[in-house]
Amino acid sequence: MPLNHDVIGLESEPAERSWTSADTLLYALGVGAGMDDPAGELEFTTENSAGVRQRVLPTFAVLAAQAPARRDLGDFDRAMLVHAEQSFELHRPLPPAGTVHVTTTVTGVHDKGSGALVVSEARAVEPGSGETLVTTRSSVFIRGEGGFGGSRGPSARWSQPSRPPDHRVTYRTRPEQALLYRLSGDRNPLHSDPKFAARAGFARPILHGLCTYGVTGRALLHTLAGSDPARFAGMSGRFSAPVFPGEPLTVSMWCDGDTALFRTTKEDGTVVIDRGTATVRPR
């Protein structure tokens, strides 16, 4: 059965999405907060430290805007699906606990030859005011589902500056990082089950793309926004290679005013998040 193209352009019914203080604390730990210095990121990892107010890592916005049920994309092998791109715009800082109504729209299914690129947009609004809290855009690549004769889709322009990066930050990941991150909701066995990972062509389970994204977001937050989530307006990036739990990640940043370009690489130089852009608000 081919992919379901009938969902393109159809906005879903609003779905309620709630999270608790424990959810945002667990997410922070899942993307490595406090790993090397347990006292260094207490505002994101604790709710009862003296003189410290709990705050939320900006990249949790992607989880806050996820609808509880996925759109019906048709019948395909889920082992062939990988996260391809992710962006979010954070209209104001997220509360440690909250509720939103989420609507999603599949905006395109593009034919990449070896697979299909499915692009979606989601909007999370506050139930009472209707104020938009988060807007996200994401795409997934489904291997083996291309060749249906559709458009290849637009190509985004991005090029690495010719000068050395203004900042370079390296964070470790733990061997059990995926087992911890999956407790934030993504139970895809690609990240935990060796047999399932082997079906997808991997020697062992890989790290969630959104975990790599969250580790990257921490580096951007602390380096570009002075660790202040209120200044972090959004980020985007393309997942370009898998990461295995335990591999360190280096984020290189090139700054231009309130915008920065970035790339995330592994120790051997392999680019794992490419075409990155982050936006911060002035102090």
184 token code pair: 């934030």
CA atoms 272, 273, 274, 280: torsion sign: negative
Active site residue 191: yes
Cβ neighbours for 110, distance < 8 A, ≥ 6 positions apart = 116, 117, 118, 119, 150, 151, 152, 153
- Chain centroid to CA 237: 8
Q: Which of 23, 83, 191, 208 is catalytic?
A: 191
Q: Which of 83, 186, 258, 274 is catalytic?
A: 186
CA gap 266, 250 in Å, rounded: 6
Active site residue 37: no
91 token code pair: 């209209």
- Chain centroid to CA 54: 21
How do strand 259-265 and strand 98-111 relate by DSSP bridges?
A: unpaired
Catalytic positions are 186, 191
